[in-house]
Amino acid sequence: MSRRLVSWVAARCLRWFYRAHRIMGRERVPATGPVLLIGNHPNDLPDVIAGLSTTTRPVRYIATVSVTSSAAARRTYEAMGVIPVARVRDARAMKARGVDMVAVNAAAAALVVQALAGGDVVGVFPEGGVHDVPEIGRLRTGVADMVLRYLHADAKNDVHIVPFGLQYEAPRTPGSDVIVQVGEPFSLRAWLQSQPAGQTGAAALTARFREALRAVTRNAATWEEGTTRDELVAARAAQLAPCDPLAAAPALVAHAQRVAAAAHADGPGPHAVRLRTVAHSLARAVERAGGIGTSALDHARLLYALDLQRQPDPVPRGAPWTGLPAALIGGVMHAPAWWLVWHLAHRSAKARADVVARSFVPGLYIMVAWYGLVTLAAAGALMAWGRSPLWALFLLVTLPRFGDLAMGWRARYRAYRLVARVQGWSTPERQALCAAAAALREAWEATPLD
C-alpha cells in the first residue's frame, strides 16, 4: 500500500506540473526476470518519478543516502525498496554524521546482487547526480561493476539492460511537455560473449550504457542550443502525426541531428539559413499565439489553425467551457496552495535544477497541510449547520480529483486559445506562416528519413 500511495502521489506531481507526459516504448521492458533500468538525469526528482512510469513492475532505485535526512524520506525509501549508496561528494558530510561510506557501498552492492537474483527491476542514473543539460554527462562505473558482480557470481538468470531517455520540452516551465523514450533492451550475458578478450570490464560496460542512453536522449550541450533543432522536430512531428505528435517526435531526434549537422556544415549557406529562419518563424508564431516554442502539440495546433493540416483534429474534443464548473472549483480550492508552493520553490532553490524538485517536496507537505485546513474548515461549517463533520472527509478524496480537472481544463483552454488566435490573424501574417511551413517541408525533404 505504501508503494501504491507513493506512486499515486508521484504521478499527480507530474500531472500538475507538466501538461503532457508520454511514455514511449513501455512494452520493451521485460515482464519478468531481472532488469537494470538506466536513465539520464537532467531534472532531479521528476526524473525519478518518470522512471517509475516506464513499467508496471515495481522499480527499486539505487539512490544516494544524502537525501534521507528526514524521517519521511527514510520511510519513503524503505517503502519503495530503495538501495542506498554513498557518493564521493558526500564523504565529508557523511563522516561528520559518523556514517561509514565504504560500508554503505559494500551493502549496496550486496543488495543489488540480491535484488537481481530475486528477479527485480533495479533503476539507476549512471551519471551519479543531476546533470542539468540535455547532453549525457560522464557516467560512473560503479553501477556496471555491481551488475557484473551479479553475473560473475554464478547467476542463474541473465540481466536485461533497458535504457530510458527523458526528453523535456522546457524542464522547469509549468505546462510544458515531457516524453520518456524507452530504448531497446540488451542482454548482459550476450554482450559479454560478444566482447573481445580484455574488454568485458566495468569501463567497457559503462561505455555501452552511454551508447544506449545517447540513442534515446536529445544530446544538446544546453537546453537553449537544442531549441532550433527541437522546433524542427516538433513541426515535422506535427506534419507526420497531427493527432499524436508526441509519439512521432522521439523517432525524429536522430534525423534532426543529421539535419542540424548538415546546417552547421553548410555554414552561412542557404540551407542553414533556411532551416534557422523556418524554425524561428514557427517558434515565434507558437509563442505569440500563447504556446511554447518547442512543443510538438502546439506546432500541430498551429498547422491546424493555418489550414495546413486538418485531419485528424489535434485540438481537444468538446467545447472550451466543458467541465468549467468543476475546473473552477478545483482552481479556487488549489490556487492559494499552488501559488505558495511555486513561490517557495523559487525562493529556496539553490540551483536551476532544484526548482521543480522543491515544487514537489516540500510542496507535497504544503498541499497536505492545505488539504487538512480545508477539511477542518468544512467540518466547522458543517457543525455550524447542524450536520455531521465526518462529511468533510469526503473532501480528502475529491480535492485531488478537482485539481486534475482544473489542470486538464487549463490545457484544453490553451489549445483552443492558440487555434483561435492564429485563425484571427490578418491575411499577410497567415501567408507568411504558410510560407514558413512550406519551407520547413522542403528543408526536411532535402534530407529524407531513413
**pLDDT tens string 182-240:** 999 999 999 999 999 888 899 999 999 999 998 888 777 777 666 777 777 788 888 88
Q: Where along the chain do the CATH 3.40.1130.10 domains lie?
A: 2-214
- Mean pLDDT of the region 289-298: 84
Instruction: Spell out the CATH class of 2-214.
Output: alpha beta
The per-residue DSSP string of 10-40 comes to HHHHHHHH-SEEEEE-GGGS-SSS-EEEEE-
pTM of the model: 0.85
Among 27, 14, 433, 26, CA closest to 238: 433
pLDDT higher than 60, residue 448: no
pLDDT higher than 70, residue 395: yes
pLDDT higher than 60, residue 450: no
Mark out the alpha helices in 289-426 (DSSP H runs).
296-305, 324-348, 354-360, 363-384, 393-423
- Mean pLDDT of the region 373-381: 93
Q: How confident is the model at residue 376 (pLDDT cuts 50, 70, 90)?
A: very high
Sequence-distant (6+) residues with CB within 8 A of 54 are: 23, 26, 29, 37, 162, 164, 180, 182
* Alpha carbons 236 and 239: distance in angstroms, whole number: 5
The CA–CA distances, whole Å, from 107 to 124, 372, 428 equal: 16, 40, 68
Cα-Cα-Cα-Cα dihedral sign, residues 349, 354, 359, 364: negative
Q: What is the pLDDT of residues 310-341, one digit of tens each?
A: 766 778 777 778 889 999 999 999 999 999 99
Report the chain's mean pLDDT, rounded to a whole number. 84
Residue for grid cell 534530407: 447
